[in-house]
Structures are given as C-alpha cells and as structure tokens.
Amino acid sequence: MKISTKNSINTAIILFFLFIKATYTCLAQSNIFKEHPKYEVRAVWLTTIGGLDWPHVYAQTPTSISRQKKELTDILDKLQKANINTILLQTRIRGTVIYPSAIEPWDGCCSGFPGKSPGYDPLAFAIKECHNRGMEVHAWIVTIPIGKWNGLGCKTLRKKYPKMITKIGQDGFINPSSPIAAQYLSNICKEITQNYDIDGIHLDYIRYPEKWNLSIPLTEARKNITNIVKEINQSVKSIKPWVKLSCAPIGKFDDLTRYSSRGWNAYNKGCQDAQRWLREGLMDQIYPMMYFRGNQFYPFAMDWKENSYGKTIVPGLGIYFLSPSEGNWNIDEIKRQMHVSRFNGMGYAFFRNRFFCDNVKNLYLFTKDEFNLYPALTPPMKWVNNKRPQSPQNISTQIVGEDEVITWNNVDNNEEGGLMYNVYASKSFPVDIDDARNLLATRIKNNHITIKKYSQNKFYYAITSINRYGNESMPLQQASFNNYTGEEKFIQNDGKKLILPNKGSALDCEYVIIKSLTGNIIAIRPYKGKYADISKINNGCYILLSLNKKNVAHRLGFFIIKR
C-alpha cells in the first residue's frame, strides 16, 4: 500500500501526541498505584507463646472455649478493618503445638495445661475465620529452640531423640548438625500441610543460636541450615505446591560496602544463606526481622529487595519499640519505614500484633485511616505457576431491602486447591481491576456477596476468579443493572476483526485508538471500512476511541477479546 509523505507526517504527529498523552496518563496512574498498591503483603505476627497476643483466656469449659474463640475473632475483625491480609500465627511454639498432632504435644497456651487439649482445634478455627475475612494464614513454626530443658516440649524430644538435642544454659535446642533434624522438622510441616487448608508455612529461628559454640566451618553450618530448608520445601511443595514457604531471618543479610551490620547478620552470625534460598526457589517469601532504625534499616532493606530474585520481600517492623517500656520510638520512624517499603514494592509485617491492635502511638489508626485505605491482594507466585484461571460467568445484582446481593456462576474447573473470587466496584464502566481503590472484597469462596446499598449512587461491578497461586482471571464485567440507561455497550468482535461503529457523515475521524483499561495505547487503526484488525491483540477488555483531525478523541465504547 502506498502512503503519501503528507499522510506519513500526519500519522507521526498523531502518534507523538498520543505518546505524550499516554505517558502523562501512565505517570499519574503510576503514582496512584504506588500510593494504593493492588498487590502488597500486609502482615502481623500473632504470638501465642504465653498468650502474649492470643489467647488471654484459657479454654477449659464450653463457655471459656467460646470466649477464647471470640478473642481471636475480635482481633481478626480489627485487623480486617485495617486491611491486613496475612496472619502469621504461631503454631509450633517450643516443641509444642496448638493443634492435635501425632508428633508433638499440646502447648499450654490454649488450655492452661501443657499437654492438654483445649477442647477444640485452634489452628483449624483460625484458618476458617481468616479465610472468612479474605485473609491468608501462615503456620508460624519456631524450628530450632524447644524451650526449657525440663519443659514438656524439650523433655518429650529428649526421650525420643536424645542425640538430636543440645543444651545451652537452661534451654534445649535441636542440633542443626544432627542427621535427623531436617527430617524431623519437615515431618511437622508436612503434617500441617496435609491436614489443614493453610496458605503458608513460616519458619522462625531457622538458624544456629547466637550462644552456640560453633565447632564446624561456617560453610558447613550454612549447609546444615540449608538442608533443613530443602527438606521442608520438598515435603510441603510435594503435597501442595501453592503453599508459600517463608522464613524470618536476621534482619541484615550481611555487611554492605558502606554499612556494617555490627556483627549481627543472617549470613555469618545465623548461618542463614537466605538470599540463596530465594535464588534457588527454596523460599517464596522472606520476612527479615528489621527491628532497626536509620542506616541499620534502609540500606539493608534495599539489599534484600535487590537480591530478591523476583520473590516477595516483607520487612518485619519492630513496632514493639514504640512502647515506652521497650524503646519509646517516635511513630514517625515506623511511618517512614512503611512508606519506603511500599514505594519500593515491598510489603511489611508488624511485630507484634498486640502493639498494633492496642494502637500504641496511634499506629493502628494511622494504618486503618490513612495508609491502608483500600484492600490489597498478596503478590502471585508466578515463579511457581503463572496460569490464569477461567473467568466467572453471568453476574447479576438484586436489591434486597437496604442490601445489594451480587451473584455469579462458579467456574467449573480442576484448579489445584480450588478457586476464590475477587469483587470490584466502580462508578465508571468497565471497572478497572488494576486500581486497588475498586477492590470491594477479596478471596471469596462463595459465588455471592451481600453489601450495603450505596445510597443513590449507581455502581458497576466486576468479578474475577483467583487461584491458590494468586493468579487472577480476566474480569467478568457487569453488563447492566437496574435503571442502567445502556449508553455503554460492548462492541462485537470475533477475536480477529472488530466491528467498527458506523461513523456516518457527522463523525470526522481518520483513526481509532485501542487502549487498555489503565490508559495504555495498545494499537492505532484506520477508521475505514467495517472492521479493524485485532488479531494480534491479547485477550482482555479494551476501550475504543475515535480521533479526528483536531486530535480530539471520543470514546466509542468497549470490547472484550476472548478467544
């Protein structure tokens, strides 16, 4: 086809104009998306040892069981209001656990009596209640320490495996050099993974104790810890590959070129080769315990991020230092750490829950009312599985009194671990699912949701399915609702050709522009004939605009490519 020089110049000018406009749009949206990220881990460590965070009431009767359960649901309700999405629940404590185990005895934190059941399964209950609120729950496993030498956990293990246990002072520890240590700890993680619908296994104290008299080379010591991590990874992933494996290493990996770790780092002091674990896919997430300030925090946080190998980094923030009795930090220190972590694409985890829920120095209110204004999804594990699930079908809404009921058809699938659903709402159509401000509810297991009616405002809805790896489907957009006038209609296509609206004699346009819902220009096509070629455009939902000779764009409608 022959193109005149004049037309070429006009096309170049148009493309330049569109590029400038698209760039401006993308920059504006980039700032919005960084301020309100759709994907971010927002976690708390929920400590059970001694009932520090929970429980404060022993479960010994039906009444006290109900009170203990309500304690937890009250905590979860409060965390949900602050849009926290990940609970690291201390499940193995000191050679003792909070679930009925065939391997280790009950801890006494729930019943008040070590070795005695509280009369229900706290882990199963916590998982159910977290999932009801769209939260992930990870079983927090304290690995090497097993408590006082004559405590129940240590005493039980000493009888079974005396050569695996080492005494330091008054406490017992699993010896990482023991040939059976890795298998023993992996069996605990395997038991939890097999028996519970857990979202993650979170390893704590997966290192040599600081008081350990290390008589072997550091390289061998690191190898011993890595062998334990490998064994646990294989046990967990062979059963449920979507279960996230994470750990909480010492907050500074190693000395940096300009900043010293002051002798306290993961690599040399704890023998934790955690960056290798990320590189080799042994860990999906890292929660470094970064309970420091200033140059002991920021450079080391960036070191973790720069060596993440695409995995998820979640700096652990020492919010307990806000307490006057612990360190009396200024709240601005934690706020800065939260902002820096978010700006650099990292999440954050609060250590520990009580200091957050007790609103020490207004941290809870700041998080709920200013920082976490909208929900967020946890980042998908694309390094394990990046396949999108099928989209749900047939969305409908119904007003019932003061509520609005949204329903859709479940996806008929064979997805590992099953599917969940995310619900989005917006005043504009179609709903932009990349904008976290439109997130209404996350990780719903049912095919319906009831929400309070938004006064007289009319909202559009979109539903996506999400698998256990965190991969999200294309959205099912609501086509209509009550009193919907029908101005916005989908333009028909067969996946190869898009039927162009009839421009008639009044519409003086030479081109149509195809944009993504986030405003990115996907393609420019001549506004001639009946069709536009879309054969090389990916499946998705798009905006179609016309462009006249004065460089004025008009929206023609929307279309969905679904081959």
CATH number of the structural domain spanning residue 187? 3.20.20.80
CB 548 within 8 A of CB 509: yes
Quick check: is 541 in a domain? yes
Quick check: is 315 in a domain? yes
Residues 153 and 301 in one domain: yes
Residues 446 and 545 in one domain: no
Measured between alpha carbons, how far is 108 from 333 in angstroms, rounded to an integer? 36
Residues 133 and 211 in one domain: yes
Quick check: is 12 in a domain? no
Quick check: is 33 in a domain? no
Residues 178 and 325 in one domain: yes
Residues 283 and 391 in one domain: no
Residues 332 and 470 in one domain: no
- 455 pLDDT band, cuts 50/70/90, is low
Quick check: is 482 in a domain? no
Quick check: is 215 in a domain? yes
CATH number of the structural domain spanning residue 414? 2.60.40.10
Which pLDDT belongs to residue 505? 53
> Is the per-residue pLDDT at 11 higher than 80?
no
Of 26-35, 202-211, 554-563, the range with the lowest mean pLDDT is 26-35
Which pLDDT belongs to residue 559? 87
Which one of 337, 371, 405 terminates a domain?
371
Mean pLDDT of 310-328: 97
Which pLDDT belongs to residue 429? 85
pLDDT digits (tens, 9 = 90+) for 122-134: 999 999 999 999 9
Mean pLDDT of 216-222: 97
Residues 471 and 510 in one domain: no
Residues 460 and 521 in one domain: no
Quick check: is 418 in a domain? yes
Residues 445 and 532 in one domain: no
Better-predicted residue by pLDDT, 129 or 546: 129
Q: Mean pLDDT of all residues in the chain?
A: 90
Residues 408 and 514 in one domain: no
Q: What's the per-residue H, E or C state across 396-465?
A: EEEEECCEEEEEEECCCCCCCCCCEEEEEEECCCCCCCCCHHHEEEEEECCCEEEEECCCCCCCEEEEEE
Measured between alpha carbons, how far is 371 from 350 in angstroms, rounded to an integer? 14
CATH number of the structural domain spanning residue 545? 2.60.40
Residues 266 and 309 in one domain: yes
Mean pLDDT of 437-464: 87
pLDDT digits (tens, 9 = 90+) for 260-306: 999 999 999 999 999 999 999 999 999 999 999 999 999 999 999 99
Mean pLDDT of 327-356: 98
What are the φ/ψ torsions at residue 446 (nearest 5 degrees)? -85, 170
Structure-token pair, residue 450: 């009831």
Percentage of the chain modeled with pLDDT above 90:
76
Question: Which of 39, 21, 6 has the alpha carbon at shortest distance from 553?
Answer: 21
Which one of 430, 457, 477 terminates a domain?
477
Mean pLDDT of 344-354: 97
Most confident of 18-32, 118-132, 457-471, 489-503: 118-132
Structurally, the chain folds into a number of domains equal to 3
CB 473 within 8 A of CB 392: yes
Residues 340 and 281 in one domain: yes
Which one of 425, 454, 477 terminates a domain?
477
Quick check: is 170 in a domain? yes
> Is the per-residue pLDDT at 561 higher than 60?
yes
Expressed as residue numbers, the domain containing 132 is 42-371
pLDDT digits (tens, 9 = 90+) for 161-215: 999 999 999 999 999 999 999 999 999 999 999 999 999 999 999 999 999 999 9
**Hey, what long-range contacts does 51-54 have (CB within 8 A, 24 or more apart)?**
51/109, 52/352, 52/354, 53/352, 53/353, 53/354, 54/353
Measured between alpha carbons, how far is 276 from 309 in angstroms, rounded to an integer? 9
